[in-house]
């Protein structure tokens, strides 16, 4: 396009010179042309205007492409922001049904196990009540980071709500989910020893469940949640006893 502009500009310049100095430019011994200089000038002017028009059209088209790309990136950014929880940077609950439905279909199609672990942060309400929601958000962020470190890249961590997280572990047996559970407990206990919030101990109650063929995502979640609740009930008396001991001492 730039080459055409240069050529058109050169032709236009030659046309202008021919228009005003025809005898010096068009010497009979050099070249013989039957086109009047005025017509040549007009032709070159039209060619130049056409090139300018094409360049402007190309620039306008390029601007439209850039604008479309910016809009696509903005839309993608908005979708991404809706996919991840702002506090914990894990998947939001809004994606859970589709995500779990896809993993269930894949597990049943391939005949492979699918494990779910529902996680609940023990004593989280005490952290919020005593130290505020900003500290509570910090604890949730740390717990979420630990959960992501304890699973594989093919696994999924979802913030189910409040202080609850759901781990979706494709191609994971009961033994494999037990290993993940032990790993999470160890990492959380290690973090709690070095970063305990005041005198509130942080631990995780977890309920494990293996998907059974034919069950819906809602049924799988309910089973994992029920098992987590049973463990949380078992942990509560121990926490209460430890709390009473601290106050008596």
Residues catalogued as catalytic:
163
Does pTM top 0.75 for this prediction? no
Strands 164-170 and 114-122, how do they pair?
A: antiparallel
Q: Which of 88, 189, 18 is nearest to 10 (CA)?
A: 18
Cα–Cα dist 85/143, whole Å = 13
Comma-separated ranges of CATH 3.30.70.270 domains in the chain: 93-248
CB atoms within 10 A of CB 209: 23
Tens digit of pLDDT at every position of the chain (249 positions): 555 555 556 666 666 655 555 555 455 545 555 666 667 667 777 777 877 787 788 888 888 888 777 776 665 555 555 688 989 999 999 889 899 999 999 999 999 999 999 999 999 999 999 999 999 999 999 999 999 999 999 999 999 999 999 999 999 999 999 999 999 999 999 999 998 888 899 999 999 999 999 999 999 999 999 999 999 888 765 554 445 444 443
> pLDDT tens for residues 219-239?
999 999 999 999 988 876 555
Angstrom CA distances, 160 to 8, 139, 163, 180, stand at: 67, 16, 8, 18
With a pLDDT cut of 90, the percent of the chain lying above it is: 54
Which positions ≥6 away from 61 have C-beta within 8 Å? Answer: none
Q: Hey, what's the torsion of the CAs at 159, 165, 170, 171, to 10 degrees?
A: 170
Cα–Cα dist 112/198, whole Å = 44
CATH homologous superfamily for 93-248?
Answer: Reverse transcriptase/Diguanylate cyclase domain (3.30.70.270)
């Amino acid at each position: 396009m730039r080459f055409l502009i240069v050529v058109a500009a050169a032709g236009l310049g030659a046309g202008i010179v021919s228009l005003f100095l025809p005898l010096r430019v068009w010497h009979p011994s050099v070249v013989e042309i039957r086109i009047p200089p005025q017509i040549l000038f007009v032709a070159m002017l039209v060619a130049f205007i056409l090139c300018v028009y094409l360049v402007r059209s190309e620039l306008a088209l390029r601007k439209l492409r850039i604008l479309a790309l910016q809009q696509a990136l903005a839309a993608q950014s908005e979708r991404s922001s809706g996919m991840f929880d702002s506090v914990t940077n894990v998947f939001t609950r809004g994606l859970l049904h589709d995500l779990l439905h896809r993993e269930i279909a894949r597990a049943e199609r391939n005949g492979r196990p699918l494990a779910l672990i529902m996680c609940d942060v023990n004593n989280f309400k005490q952290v919020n009540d005593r130290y505020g929601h900003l500290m509570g958000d910090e604890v949730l962020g740390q717990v979420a980071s630990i959960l992501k470190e304890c699973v594989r890249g093919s696994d999924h961590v979802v913030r189910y709500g409040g202080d609850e997280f759901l781990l979706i572990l494709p191609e994971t047996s009961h033994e494999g989910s037990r290993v993940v559970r032990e790993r999470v407990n160890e990492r959380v206990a290690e973090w709690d020893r070095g970063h305990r919030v005041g005198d509130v101990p942080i631990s995780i109650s977890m309920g494990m469940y293996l998907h059974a063929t034919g069950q819906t995502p809602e049924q799988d979640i309910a089973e994992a949640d029920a098992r987590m609740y049973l463990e949380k009930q078992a942990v509560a008396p121990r926490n209460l006893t430890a709390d009473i001991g601290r106050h008596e001492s």
